Amino acid sequence: MPTATLTKKKAGATSAPQTALRSSFTIDPITPIIGAEIGNIDLGVELDEETFKQLRATLVKHKVLVFREQDITPAAQVAFARRFGVLETHPVFPKHPEHPELVVLGGDASKPAQENIYHSDYSWREEPSMASILRCIECPAHGGDTLWINMVAAYERLPESIKSRLAGLRAVHDLMPAFGGRMTAEKREATRRQYPMVEHPVVRTHPESGEKILYVNESFTTHFANFMENGEIRVGFDFRLAEMDLLQYLLRQAQIPEYQMRVRWKPNTIVMWDNRSTQHYAIQDYFPAVRRMLRATVIGDRTF
């Protein structure tokens, strides 16, 4: 079990550091394939460097980390997230009034939220996100769970005949299918100029673990960029239908329960996940009850 030195100073606070506390965090796997509950840790406390390194390695290994009873401030959430890198500012979602790095997620009693689609955050960026840190502020008594999916396993367990078809294949990712409908025509035009469509490998490599990852998602992946290079074409629809069939087959891999884990939210639960190797799906089975979340997202690297 890893040993940690925690400096008793609330992240984002101005008070002087208190006495150092010796502690250790526990790791309790959620499924054999993805996720772990992390205990005996306070994310509102400034972690020493060794603890931080151990926590990052645990994230890469388990891909999703669940922390319970984390009654921390928005400033502390931002400070914790910044330990992992520069934070994103979302161009569409509402933001916390004091911390624009925090996205405010959730509808209200008149309008349900719309995150119930399999996706990886910010895959539409040239440098997709490294990780997201989501804290539950308010959640319904029943329902509102979130699923996470191990996309390393989704790739590893593909038939070899499919894997061979994916070699060198690139996919186009676009924020407009998910967010364009929320904008005016003028806003769509401006957003398109700022965030053009991007290409990523269909099978990307994790920059820390070296794992191969199936990297397409139904929220942002629109088509393959170079599908025609990989086969002979008799007539046009041969190419188009084969491309659509393959893409739909790959998108369905995220729906396989054996690759998934599920979190039941409680107030002050924080979940951190590796966006490079996972997808997630926020179940909308609780409307008109309300679920409110704050999310920080860390910018990642170019895919390869």
pLDDT in 10s for each residue of the chain, 304 residues: 443 333 333 444 433 333 233 348 999 999 999 999 999 999 999 999 999 999 999 999 999 999 999 999 999 999 999 999 999 988 888 889 999 999 999 877 777 777 889 999 999 999 999 999 999 999 999 999 999 999 999 999 999 999 999 999 999 999 988 888 788 888 888 888 999 999 999 999 999 999 999 999 999 999 999 997 665 566 666 778 889 999 999 999 999 999 999 999 999 999 999 999 999 999 999 989 989 999 999 999 999 9
Contacts of 196 (CB under 8 A, 6+ apart): none
Task: Reply yes or no on whether 121 is catalytic.
Answer: yes
Among candidate residues 204, 276, 280, 291, the one labeled active-site is 280
Among candidate residues 62, 90, 99, 121, the one labeled active-site is 121
Structural domains in the chain plus CATH codes: 4-109+124-140+266-273+289-299 (3.60.130.10)
Give the pLDDT score at 13. Answer: 41
- Parallel, antiparallel, or unpaired for β 64-67 and 36-39? parallel
Give the pLDDT score at 240. Answer: 82
Task: Reply yes or no on whether 42 is catalytic.
Answer: no
Among candidate residues 62, 119, 125, 135, the one labeled active-site is 119
- Give burial (CB, 10 Å; 0-12/13-18/19+) of 116: middle
Task: Reply yes or no on whether 182 is catalytic.
Answer: no
**pTM given for the model:** 0.88
Give the pLDDT score at 3. Answer: 39
Among candidate residues 99, 125, 173, 295, the one labeled active-site is 295
